[in-house]
Amino acid sequence: MVVDYGTHVIKSVDAGASLVAEDYLDSKYVSANAEQQSKIETEAGFHFFNLLKFEDNKFGIGLKNVDQSSSKVAGKHKNNLVAIDRSGVPLHYVINQNTVPDLPLPTVEKVSESLKKAIQRYYEVNTRPGCVDVSSQNFNFQANVDDASCEGPATNLSFGGVFQQCTQLSSNAEPFVRNWPKRTQTQFSQHLATVSDNCEIFYCAPSMTFTGGELKPVILPPFTKPPQVRMEADNKVMVMTEGEKTWVRLGNDKQWKPAKPEEIVKMLKQIDSDSNKVSAAEKTGVAGLLALMALVAVVAVVIIRRRRKKQSNQIYEQF
């Protein structure tokens, strides 16, 4: 679902346009009127908002009138609006009993929780810690989350180490998977090398090492390899009840369907009759196989007896 529908549901969008007005002042004028700087900034602000009203005005204290073409450009934005801001909720918020009333509540909660974990995993995999301050000597343009690596002197080392993050399955942890630091040392930034079967493997390097090239692409799920052994489900009926509602799932079908109690009884009888038919057919096949094996054995015995009798007659004729 994350690949097909993203991570959030958009509830509102702010449409508009971004207008930027730049006023240039002579440096001599600014130095000569330093005490009036706040007044100049105020009049520049009024000048910008007057542009939005598509009016031409003149200002004092040295501000030049803006050419009429600026108003024309601003006026064109009425019919060329774009999305400048948006708000919404995570996708798992909309998976609830109100949006999918035909499913049982435990199933809805399980799906919502699984989707929540998938979204969190998506952001964890695509998080690139590093220095995000462009003025720092440790700036890393690949980073999208600040990891406090901007402070400290720049380093010349080309490699700082390697580590991986795993999920603890038991309290008796191996020495290599104990509660060691899960980030690089100071003056280094961590980089995601790969995701191997839902396990993130990072390596550490100075932030300025990878300032060239292009931005890394977004990593999309799945992050876990499918199981190599396929488990085949047998012909069973799964029933789930919630109050007066009942859902059933037949065999390999992954879809829950609402059903009445009498319909469930019919399904069980149908499955029992089908299994009995299969059992009878299997019994008939086994009996036929045994009969064929017995016939082969009888023919073999007859052939052996004939050969022995023929050999005895040949020996008698020689004497």
Q: What would the pLDDT profile of 36-48 be if each residue is shown by its tens digit?
A: 767 777 766 666 5
Do strands 129-130 and 145-146 pair parallel, antiparallel, or not at all (unpaired)? parallel
- Please indicate, yes or no, whether residues 86 and 26 belong to a single structural domain of this protein: yes
- Please indicate, yes or no, whether residues 12 and 97 belong to a single structural domain of this protein: yes
- Please indicate, yes or no, whether residues 204 and 239 belong to a single structural domain of this protein: no
- Please indicate, yes or no, whether residues 238 and 206 belong to a single structural domain of this protein: no
At 5-36, the pLDDT tens digits run 889 898 898 887 776 767 777 777 767 776 77
Domain count, the chain: 3
Q: Which residue type occupies 12?
A: S
In degrees to the nearest 10, what's the CA dihedral of 86, 91, 92, 98?
90
- Please indicate, yes or no, whether residues 73 and 41 belong to a single structural domain of this protein: yes
> Which of 195-204, 231-240, 249-258 bottoms out in mean pLDDT, i.e. has the lowest?
231-240
CA within 13 Å, CB half, 53: 8
- Please indicate, yes or no, whether residues 197 and 249 belong to a single structural domain of this protein: no
Exposure b/e, 146-170, CB count within 10 A at least 16 = b: ebebbeeeebeeeebeebeeeeeee
- Please indicate, yes or no, whether residues 80 and 7 belong to a single structural domain of this protein: yes
**Residue at 165 is within a domain:** yes
**Residue at 74 is within a domain:** yes
Amino acid 179: pLDDT: 61
Burial of 129 (0-12, 13-18, 19+ CB in 10 A): buried
pLDDT band for position 95 (50/70/90)?
A: very high
**Residue at 113 is within a domain:** no
Q: Which helix (H) or strand (E) holds 226?
A: none
Task: Report the alpha-carbon distance of residue 83 to residue 250 in Å, rounded.
Answer: 47
**Residue at 279 is within a domain:** yes
The domain of 141 spans 126-210
At 41-94, the pLDDT tens digits run 776 666 655 554 444 444 343 444 444 445 555 555 666 778 888 889 999 999
Give start and end residues of each alpha helix (H) in the chain. Answer: 2-5, 27-32, 37-52, 68-76, 105-125, 261-318
**Residue at 272 is within a domain:** yes
CB-based contact 55:36 (threshold 8 Å): no
Find, among 7, 242, 267, the residue nearest to 115 by Cα.
7
CB-based contact 157:168 (threshold 8 Å): no
CB neighbour list of residue 182: distance below 8 Å, 6 or more residues apart: 163, 165
Q: What is the pTM of this model?
A: 0.48
CB-based contact 156:138 (threshold 8 Å): no
- Please indicate, yes or no, whether residues 96 and 6 belong to a single structural domain of this protein: yes
**Residue at 274 is within a domain:** yes
The pLDDT > 70 percentage for the chain reads 50
**Residue at 140 is within a domain:** yes
* Last residue within a domain, chosen from 103, 137, 152: 103
**Residue at 137 is within a domain:** yes
- Please indicate, yes or no, whether residues 63 and 142 belong to a single structural domain of this protein: no
Amino acid 86: pLDDT: 85
